Amino acid sequence: MDWQRDLPTWPHNAWSRRVVCAPHRWHVQEYGKGPTLLFLHGAGASTHSWNAMMTELSRDHHVVAIDLPGHGFTTLGASNRSGLTQISEDVAALCKQEGWRPQKIIAHSAGAAIALQLCEHHLTPDTQPQSVLAINPAFTDFDGLAGVLFPLIAKSLAVNPLTPWLFTLGPDAMSRAKRLIASTGSTIPAEQLSLYARLLKDRKHVQGALFMMAQWSLRGFRTILSQSQIPMEIVVGLNDQAVPPDRTAEVQQSLPNSTLTELPNLGHLAHEEAPELFVSLVRSAIQDSRQSDPRP
């Protein structure tokens, strides 16, 4: 996305700033005072995914949202830094540089895997969050032949310089956005849909998402899940067509310190469909844990 052209009409643009932290030039949205909440979006999204939640939570929290490498307004500094391990390392470096000590990480889909990797391998005990809210988390690879073919296809698309051009060709990005969002099982507000359409027209964003899909691997992640002691609230929309809810429920059983909440009639983008519900979940969780951790 173009900073000069697109940012002035982007949600919460007054909160936006550029932050250089090698190897990327990050887009950060930051506002408010109080306990720090760090928001991590999933593949193909951007900070806009959180705009309704951030509006409300910024009233009494310090909210921080970032565009992942190559997504939205974050400039990808190295094309080989889009896998789970590399993104987690780079987000950790950004948090350290900016002095962020999130009391809670709120993460969606692939962002939830980044959050867990971040907590288990990069954050020190004094910078660990009290908990992670994982919304429709993508904690497993594709099964069988799809698990082999999908990364190969994504990789071949990502390295083809014509791919982003072909993906963004044509004026009807809104129709593509409608089909994409419908395939997730979600029905989101028209304003959110228009933002996804803008992202789908942006070649750098599309390429960034393809790089992430091509390099994404959760091999060995099961071990991290089974050994994690990070308190995690997993929330699943039962209409999720992107990450099967029954698979998420199965994975949750292997997480020693986790809870599972299932929400009927909501899809993969549940937090965009019902942001007020997720704001309530965040507030309740923080209130419950406030006495056990005095950090600001």
pLDDT tens figures, 192-201: 999 999 999 9
**Given a cut of 70, is residue 145 above it in pLDDT?**
no
Q: Is 224 exposed, middle or buried (0-12, 13-18, 19+ CB in 10 A)?
A: middle
Q: DSSP readout, 224-282?
A: HHHH--S-EEEEEETT-SSS-HHHHHHHHTT-TTEEEEEETT--TTHHHH-HHHHHHHH
CA dist 185 → 67, 154, 181, 240, 243 (Å): 23, 23, 7, 5, 10
**Given a cut of 80, is residue 150 above it in pLDDT?**
no
Top-confidence residue, 161 or 253: 253
Distance CA 295, CA 42 (A): 28
pLDDT value of position 173: 85
DSSP H helices in the chain = 3-6, 51-57, 84-98, 110-121, 144-159, 163-167, 173-182, 190-200, 203-215, 221-227, 245-252, 270-273, 275-289
**Given a cut of 70, is residue 156 above it in pLDDT?**
no
What average pLDDT does range 134-146 have in this prediction? 74
pTM for this model (two decimals): 0.92
CA dist 4 → 7, 30, 73, 182, 261 (Å): 6, 19, 10, 31, 41
Distance CA 236, CA 196 (A): 22
Distance CA 110, CA 213 (A): 10
**Given a cut of 90, is residue 289 above it in pLDDT?**
no
pLDDT value of position 144: 43
Greatest mean pLDDT range, 18-22, 224-228, 238-242: 18-22
- Please state at what angle helix 190-200 crosses helix 203-215, rounded to 10 degrees: 80
Top-confidence residue, 239 or 288: 239
Domains of the chain by range and CATH? 3-143+217-290 (3.40.50.1820)
pLDDT value of position 213: 86
What average pLDDT does range 209-233 have in this prediction? 90
